[in-house]
Amino acid sequence: MSEKITITEDSVPGLPRGVKLRFDQQRDQWVILAPERLFVLDAIALEIVKRCDGEASVAEIVNDLAETFAAPRDTILKDVGALLQDLADKRILAA
Amino acid sequence: MTAPGFPLAVLAELTHRCPLQCPYCSNPLALEAAGAELSTEAWKAVIAEVADLGTLQIHFSGGEPTARRDLEVLVAAAAEAGLYSNLITAGVLLDRARLVALAEAGLDHLQLSFQDSAAAGCDRIGGYKGGFEKKLDCARWTVEAGLPLTLNMVVHRQNLANLPEMLALAERLEARRVEIAHVQYYGWAYLNRAALMPTRAQLEEATAVVEAARERLKGVLVIDYVVPDYYARRPKSCMGGWGRQFLNISPAGKVLPCHAAESITDLTFDRVGEKSLREIWLHSPAFEAYRGTAWMPEPCRSCERREIDWGGCRCQAFALTGRAGNVDPACALSPEHEAMQALASAESAKAAREFTYRTRKAGEVAAQMIPERLV
């Protein structure tokens, strides 16, 4: 049986086999390709997902984003946590 | 009308050969012979062409796609073209070595069918003895190979009572997704409708089971649920709209807007190789016939949902009313809606008819029969 993933600052998120981040040239957008699913990413989601490399922790990703976009860490942590938990619940994120 | 976009996904029906004989098979009644199938080279050309059109996903289906010995080559061609590949299989012809070879060729996902939650029902409905055990092996090897696994369960009056066990099976086999799909009544399923149609009470119970399981299994198992049209109030957005997001290539290379489109007998379809797929997609009469909203009759044409459900399903309108351009009877605004629901209620209340299993011979006979219609 598979276990439910709960995203915390210590989680190390990555895309599992069968989930791919791709640029869709025809429609000029970034997408996640997954089993019989297609998720179109907005600019914020893309910045988060492309940092999910299976090496950086959520805390490190949040620090990086806070620095890159000069935004409050708390706000970013909330957004990142919500997005990653949603992807995990859809079974398209490993952590 | 604005120019259509290009297809997001393509269904490549590599063959109509299949060791199973499911009585609700989505293939047409008139099954293509092995000799009519496209060659490896022709399929490779199709793969390159659809990728060039901006297609993102390719579903290798059939019949049973693993009956084609060149499946690995086609999976590799899809990977090379940057397409996300999905294998839709009954799983009974695969062994572990072949599954590993497919994974190594770049397969992204495997969808495995189960006809019921246990061997007796699964083998009886699929018409293939020993199938259930082979499917269990296939599921294990898929997970072992690290591939995401989806189980596909087609549900109807003869297996709906086992829905909780079906969900438990998906959980136990570590599927990431399960599709619980009520039968859609075209072709073989239309022929077998009286053996398959659930009662409204069965449908409502199934829906409650799915909703509870979704809550309980959140983050563990994703459950997709396809409801049956015959008890609906509004039609489904079939294929996300005719010729809008999707194209289908038959084993012999016919280019179709959906897998059931050949059931609309007054349409003719172009073949790959005769014209470019771009040309067929943009300009073939079959794709243009029901694309967009201009073809719609009232009340569809002025309906606020016309670009939500795109008028529902053309194949269903044709099957039940004899005209693909009529309102889908699944819609409560269709003049045939009540008759459709009455038909479902009546058929589901009677003792189930025997299955007509999917064989080439039975298909030849059935294709000659005069279909029953509502009007």
pLDDT tens per residue, range B93-125: 999 999 999 999 999 999 999 999 999 999 999
Contact (CB<8Å) A38/B56: yes
Least confident of B206-210, B330-334, B348-352, B368-372: B368-372
> What's the predicted TM-score (pTM) here?
0.96
CA-to-CA distance for B333 and B327, rounded, in angstroms? 8
Longest dimension (CA), chain A: 42
Q: Shortest CA distance to B50 belongs to which of B254, B247, B322, B298?
A: B247
Of B56, B150, B176, the CB nearest to A24: B56
CA distance A62 to chain B (A): 23
CA-to-CA distance for B154 and B296, rounded, in angstroms? 31
This model of the complex carries an ipTM of 0.95
CA distance B143 to chain A (A): 11
In a mutational test of the B interface, the residue from A2, A7, A27, A36 whose CB has the highest number of chain B CBs within 10 Å is A36
Average pLDDT over residues B67-79: 98
A23, containing H or E segment: strand A20-24
State the DSSP code for B331: S
Q: Are B305 and B234 in contact (CB under 8 A)?
A: yes
CA distance A33 to chain B (A): 7
CA distance A16 to chain B (A): 9
> In percent, how much of chain B has pLDDT > 70?
99
Q: How many helices (H) and strands (E) does chain A have?
A: 3, 3
Of B54, B171, B177, the CB nearest to A35: B177
Contact (CB<8Å) B220/A3: yes
pLDDT tens per residue, range B128-173: 999 999 999 999 999 999 999 999 999 999 999 999 999 999 999 9
Looking at residue B276, its pLDDT comes to: 96
Q: Which two tokens stand for residue B39?
A: 């060659």
Percent of chain A as helix, strand, coil, to the nearest 5:
35, 20, 45
Facing residues of B85 across strands? B58
**Bridge pairing between strands B84-89 and B57-61:** parallel
Q: Are B317 and B297 in contact (CB under 8 A)?
A: no
CA distance B59 to chain A (A): 9
Looking at residue B159, its pLDDT comes to: 98
Place of tokens 């189980």: B151
pLDDT tens per residue, range B165-210: 999 999 999 999 999 999 999 999 999 999 999 999 999 999 999 9
* String of DSSP letters for B61-129: ESS-GGGSTTHHHHHHHHHHTT-EEEEEE--TT--HHHHHHHHHHT--EEEEEESSSSHHHHHHHHT-T
pLDDT at B4 over 80: no
Contact (CB<8Å) A33/B56: yes
> Which chain A residues in 23-42 lie under 8 Å from chain B, judged by CB atoms?
24-27, 31, 33-36, 38
CA distances from A68 to A47, A48, A52 (A): 10, 12, 16
pLDDT tens per residue, range B232-253: 999 999 999 999 999 999 999 9
Residue A73 touches chain B, beta carbons under 8 Å:
no
Contact (CB<8Å) A27/B54: yes
Closest-CA residue of chain B to A6: B219
Q: Are B319 and B371 in contact (CB under 8 A)?
A: yes
Looking at residue B1, its pLDDT comes to: 47
Bond prior to B63 in cis (omega within 30° of 0): yes
Average pLDDT over residues B12-29: 97
State the DSSP code for A3: P
CA dihedral B187, B289, B370, B253 (to 10 degrees): -50
User: Where are the strands (E) in B165-312, listed by range?
Assistant: 177-182, 222-226, 246-249, 255-256
pLDDT at B343 over 90: yes
